[in-house]
Amino acid sequence: MLSRWTDFLTSDGEKPWRNRDDEFESTIKSKAELFSKWEEGWACLFKALDTVNETNQDTLVYIRNQGHTIEETYIRQLAHYASHVGQIVYIGRILAAEKWDSLSIANGNSKEYNEAMFSKPKSKEHFTEEILKPKSEE
């Protein structure tokens, strides 16, 4: 994230100082260090997003010399981060074993879930509204 979003409007997303191969080595030694790097990466991203405005929204952004619109950069990175989050969830599931709580429809409950969903009238709402609804409203 640091390489991609540091000065992302004015320099290539693949910075000369990035050592990608080292990112696959076990160099993080503590949970605190992991969370620090996690927060640093997200802070860099949000700082970069805050720099986009009406005067620069048409800037061409380069990633390994391939030009992207800012919107294409967002979509590319969103898809990339989603794959990493999936990896994290998968590892978490393996480590939790039988203690794992499904993040979506619990295994074996698809039929009941779909019956409940299709028993409701069609509506326009974001899929997270159901998830974020306080338990007292259910």
What is the distance in angstroms between the CA of the first residue and the CA of the last residue of the chain? 38
Predicted local confidence at residue 132, as pLDDT = 81
User: Average pLDDT for residues 50-63, to the nearest whole number?
Assistant: 96
Q: Could you read off the pLDDT of 71-115 as tens digits, one per residue?
A: 999 999 999 999 999 999 999 999 999 999 888 888 899 999 999
Predicted local confidence at residue 24, as pLDDT = 87
User: Average pLDDT for residues 48-74, to the nearest whole number?
Assistant: 95
Percent of the chain with pLDDT over 90: 75
59 vs 77: CA distance, rounded Å: 17
Nearest-CA neighbor of 56 among 43, 71, 44? 71
Instruction: Say whether pTM exceeds 0.85.
Output: no
DSSP-derived secondary structure letter, 92: H
